[in-house]
Amino acid sequence: MIQVQELTKSYGAKTVVDHASFTVQPGMVTGFLGPNGAGKSTTMRMIVGLAKPTAGQVLVNGRKFTSSTHPLVEVGTLLEAKSVHKSLTPRAHLRAMAATAGLPTTRVDEVLELTGLGAVQRKKVGGFSLGMGQRLGIATALLGDPQVLILDEPVNGLDPEGVAWVRNLARQQAAAGKTVFISSHLMSEMAQTADHLVVIGRGKILADAPIGEFIDNGLAQTLVRTADAETLMNALAAEGVQLKRLDAVTLEVTGPESEVIGRRALEAGVVLSELRPLQRTLEDAYMELTRDAVEYQSQITTQSIGGK
Amino acid sequence: MSTELINARPRPMHGRVTLGGVLRSEMIRFFSLNSTRILILVSFAVYVGIAAVGIWGVGSLMESMGGTPNAGQIPGTESMGTADFAAETLASGLMFSQLILGVLGVLLMSGEFTTGSAVSTFLASPQRLRVMGAKVILITVLTAVVQLASTLAAYLVCLPLAKNYNMTLDFGSEAFQRMMWFGALAVVMAALMGLALGVLLRNSAGGITSLVALFFVLPLVAQILTAVTDWFADVARFMPDRLGLSLALPLSTPSDLEMWQQLLGVAGWVLIPLALGAVLLKSRDIK
């Protein structure tokens, strides 16, 4: 279990993580979503003690990771694909990591086999592709068979087979009762892997909810086609209704359910050629959420400037 | 890739991190790298080579002057031909050993940050000072052993050369032992200063440049300033290049400091940068 409490990280005047609080539960896969520069990696670095929080704290299994006596068994971490000395072989790197924690060399062979690196275990890491580096990072994370797995963009650079493998791995680890925390910007991937989502934007936690709830939480979207778009737009115009004209005969309506739109069209005598509720994907929900965050931020800035 | 193995492994993991474990880990990585092996070999070869050339040069010079008995007649050559002088001639390459193995010290720490492997290292041992402690132990033992071995090899190579010119090279003499052990100390000092610079600057090029500046440029500046103010004469005596060499080679690098003062100076140059490095390593973020 990872407990993030009021976590804040500032570099000078810039706040990268802003009072973030959430809990990553064991037994499920928790996805960590956010646009680039939202503070995902910084948050993960603070969880494992590589970066010091400006304020707040993180507890891993109830205490700070920096005081862990069994770090590799407690937390397996993948932060960057190539956090390995370029002149080392995967085998030497893993043997060195295993030696730190007194893990047997047989475990090194196991994770090399597990991640498909057996054939290149004596090649230098410097010549690895991004995908190979990523596999080595995952091998390192799995070395201690840890209770908590923290993976920052694990599928970056992996081929489809590798992506599927990471997904299975995450699901399997969660099923075994472990805590799995994965960051990604690939929504489709998260939709298939995660049980729970934490969304971060501009350092603030925007959402922390089960994945189903996250998708349904938004407003209904409907695609409407009619030859008389003007009349329908007037009939629909109301508080909380967003109208977007896609072309002369097509509207995208956000807010009311499709049934309400149909009734309004009937009342106004408009003939509809199409009335189709749009399936909201995780990606849509995410885009909406992060876009709102950006707008919210700029409003604050405008207000504070106006107030002076 | 297969996932079956994850749950198939029945035995429990212990995984407790100890200083011994970190030290083993450091050794595995250290000896897996070509750069470290090359630096050790270069230091060894340069030291032995300079020793042989030095003995040969002094020997042939004495021979051209007509042998040992007359050497004292020319001013400045009084000590030439003595066993003490031969021992110090053998250690002519000491400063190069200091620099080469000092660079090794820099790389041992800066390599973590320039390659990004610091992330892995400090995830495996979140207690950062334990990692630094392991590196201090490793570089101290390693550079001391390399320097002692180089001296021994130089002795074996130079023994027939010295015999050829009727020079005395006495392994058991006080001068030889002083040269060997204090020479190793001088090398360890440089390596630990390099390690400290590596952790302070987190950059290989910067660390190596600073180390060279400390050993070559700083003494020069101190010398110039001595001409301006007398007070700097005291400071100049405590420059890192002088301290290590004057302990090992009192004939060729005389110092008017007491031995305890020199040792204190060495300790200062080692402990202050290391302490500073430790404080910063603990407080700064790992990138």
Q: What is the pLDDT of residues A263-297, one digit of tens each?
A: 989 998 999 999 988 766 666 777 777 776 554 44
Residue B224 lies in a domain: yes
Residue B3 lies in a domain: no
Report CA-CA distances (Å) from A196 to A24, A25, A30, A202, A294.
Answer: 9, 9, 5, 20, 23
* Contact (Cβ atoms closer than 8 angstroms) between residue B215 and residue B99: yes
Q: Does residue A186 carry a pLDDT above 50?
A: yes
| Residues of chain B contacting residue A142, judged by C-beta atoms under 8 Å apart | 6
Asked whether the beta carbons of residue A145 and residue B13 sit closer than 8 angstroms, the reply is yes
Distance CA B128, CA B281 (A): 7
* Contact (Cβ atoms closer than 8 angstroms) between residue A50 and residue B122: yes
A102 φψ region: left (φ > 0), alpha (ψ -120 to 50), beta (else): left
Question: Per CATH, is A2-210 categorized as 3.40.50.300?
Answer: yes
> Could you say which of A102, A140, A162 has the minimum Cβ distance to residue B14?
A102
Tens-place pLDDT, residues B108-149: 999 999 988 999 999 999 999 999 999 999 999 999 999 999
Is A179 in a helix, a strand, or coil? Answer: strand
Terminal alpha carbon distance of chain A: 45
| B264 CB neighbour count, 10 Å cutoff | 14
Every domain of chain A and the residues it spans? 2-210, 220-277
Distance CA A278, CA A256 (A): 12
Asked whether the beta carbons of residue A50 and residue B3 sit closer than 8 angstroms, the reply is no
Residue B10 lies in a domain: no
Report pLDDT for A70: 94
| Residue ranges in B165-253 assigned as alpha helix (H) | 174-201, 204-212, 218-228, 231-237, 240-248
- Between positions 204 and 263 of A, the ones with CB within 8 A of B are none
Provide the residue range defining the domain that includes B59.
Answer: 19-282
Report pLDDT for A170: 95
| Residues of chain A contacting residue B35, judged by C-beta atoms under 8 Å apart | 87
* Contact (Cβ atoms closer than 8 angstroms) between residue A180 and residue A25: no
Report pLDDT for A143: 96
Residue B4 lies in a domain: no
Distance CA A191, CA A184 (A): 11
Asked whether the beta carbons of residue B17 and residue A69 sit closer than 8 angstroms, the reply is yes
**Between these two residues, B225 and A77, which has the higher pLDDT value?**
A77
Q: Provide Rg for chain B, Cα atoms.
A: 23
Report pLDDT for A306: 37
A130 at B interface, C-beta within 8 A: no
Interface A-B, measured as beta-carbon pairs within 8 A, has a size of 146
Report CA-CA distances (Å) from A137 to A125, A219, B21, B182.
Answer: 11, 40, 21, 44
Asked whether the beta carbons of residue B124 and residue A162 sit closer than 8 angstroms, the reply is no
A145 at B interface, C-beta within 8 A: yes
Report phi then psi at B166, rounded to 5. 60, 30
Report pLDDT for B276: 97
Tens-place pLDDT, residues B238-276: 889 889 889 999 888 888 888 999 999 999 999 999 999
Asked whether the beta carbons of residue A114 and residue B6 sit closer than 8 angstroms, the reply is yes
What is the amino acid identity at position B81? G
Q: Which CATH number describes the domain made up of A220-277? A: 3.30.70.2250
